[in-house]
Amino acid sequence: MISIPAIKPNRPIGVFDSGIGGLTVLKELVDLLPGEDMIYLGDTARVPYGARSPETIIRYSEENVLFLMNFGVKLIVVACNTSSAIALPKLQRKFSFPILGVVEAGARTAVKTSRSGRIGVLGTEATIRSGAYAKYILTLNPRARVTAIPCPLFVPLAEEGWVGDRVAKLVAERYLQGFKSRSIDTALLGCTHYPLLKGVIQEVLGRKVQLIDSAVETAREVKELLDGTGLAREKDSGRLRFYVTDNPDKFMRVGERFFRRPITKISKVSLR
């Protein structure tokens, strides 16, 4: 296990993702913890992780953690669903400071929310193939009935900003028809891009289906951890720094749609 010196409240929070989508997690963290310094790493040179082997995803994730450790982070949020599903357990065993993912937080809330135990999970092909959400939901509620559907076209729709037009609705109707036949009452957004499509997903599923945003639930768990361990930083406003592994132009242009605020202080870095 790789350890670090005693953790202090004034240290920053590290957040990493394979690209842009993790900015929806960062947004929720900033909204809930405005006094915290945060460092975001987007591994844009190697996105998407979903097409990689588990061994490669684990290696990339470890390299991301090692980069963020250079800033003396007090905890790390794995904002990538693929990394959370495949690499998180190994990261938690290897490093001796808190590392949280987006899978468990969302799954816990979905189980608490569902009245019937019929839960739908939307995600990328890699996340759904891993079975991570379904496994954790069934650990919490063995009687749950989980329907998991990959929705790969939601990612380019979100990045293009096509989130409320006819194209987005047609794609959502095609993907989500399997949920309607299973009578789910709770749908878990298992990809960080999907909150941008929350409106059209809700429209297609209907108001009786509760949507669970893993980004929101992860931010709440981070706050609970900081408050419970005395690591919360009491300041009016924190500093944000952004790092990417490829040209930052698209990240800045598209990322502001995900982050819903200006992105500044961005640098290109190499993880090798």
Per-residue pLDDT of the chain (272 residues; tens, 9 = 90+): 655 557 888 999 999 999 999 999 999 999 999 999 999 999 999 988 877 888 999 999 999 999 999 999 999 999 999 899 899 999 999 998 999 999 999 999 999 999 999 999 999 888 898 899 999 999 999 999 999 999 999 999 999 999 988 999 999 999 999 898 888 999 999 999 999 999 999 999 999 999 999 999 999 999 999 999 998 987 778 899 999 999 899 899 899 999 999 998 899 999 87
151 is catalytic: no
Q: Please tell me whether residues 210 and 221 are part of one structural domain.
A: no
Identified catalytic residue from 41, 57, 126, 191: 191
Q: What is the DSSP string of the chain?
A: -B--SPP-TTSPEEEEESSSTTHHHHHHHHHH-TTS-EEEEE-TTS--GGGS-HHHHHHHHHHHHHHHHTTT-SEEEE--HHHHHHTHHHHHHHBSS-EEESHHHHHHHHHHH-SSSEEEEEE-HHHHHHTHHHHHHHHH-TT-EEEEEE-TTHHHHHHHT-SSSHHHHHHHHHHHHHHHHHT-SEEEE-STTGGGGHHHHHHHH-TTSEEEEHHHHHHHHHHHHHHHHT-----S---EEEEESS-HHHHHHHHHHHHSS---SEEE----
Distance CA 126, CA 82 (A): 6
Q: Across the beta sheet with 240-244, what order do the strands follow?
A: 99-101, 75-78, 13-17, 38-42, 240-244, 266-268
pTM across the whole model: 0.92
Q: Please tell me whether residues 26 and 116 are part of one structural domain.
A: no
Residue 2 domain-assigned? no
Q: Please tell me whether residues 108 and 193 are part of one structural domain.
A: yes
- As for how many domains the chain has, the answer is 2
Q: Please tell me whether residues 185 and 116 are part of one structural domain.
A: yes
Q: Please tell me whether residues 234 and 251 are part of one structural domain.
A: yes
Distance CA 104, CA 67 (A): 24
pLDDT tens for residues 122-140?
998 888 988 999 999 999 9
Identified catalytic residue from 80, 88, 200, 201: 80
191 is catalytic: yes
Residue 7 domain-assigned? no
Tell the residue number behind the tokens 């709770």, with chain if given: 186
Residue 6 domain-assigned? no
Distance CA 144, CA 114 (A): 9
Per the CB < 8 A criterion, the answer to whether 220 and 32 are in contact is: yes
Residue 167 domain-assigned? yes
- Residues 42-67 as b/e (b if ≥16 CB within 10 A, e otherwise) read bbbbbbbbbebeeeebbebbbbbbeb
Residue 8 domain-assigned? no
Distance CA 136, CA 234 (A): 34
Q: Please tell me whether residues 125 and 86 are part of one structural domain.
A: no
First to last CA, the chain: 21
- Looking at residue 5, its pLDDT comes to 57
- Residue 176: give its domain's CATH number: 3.40.50.1860
- Looking at residue 196, its pLDDT comes to 94
Q: Please tell me whether residues 206 and 112 are part of one structural domain.
A: yes
Residue 5 domain-assigned? no
Residue 222 domain-assigned? yes
pLDDT tens for residues 218-270?
999 999 999 999 989 877 788 999 999 998 998 998 999 999 999 988 999 99
Q: Please tell me whether residues 109 and 202 are part of one structural domain.
A: yes
Among candidate residues 108, 62, 113, 105, the one with its CA nearest the CA of residue 81: 105
Q: Please tell me whether residues 71 and 141 are part of one structural domain.
A: no
Question: Domain span at residue 51?
Answer: 13-101+216-268
- Looking at residue 45, its pLDDT comes to 94
Residue 113 domain-assigned? yes
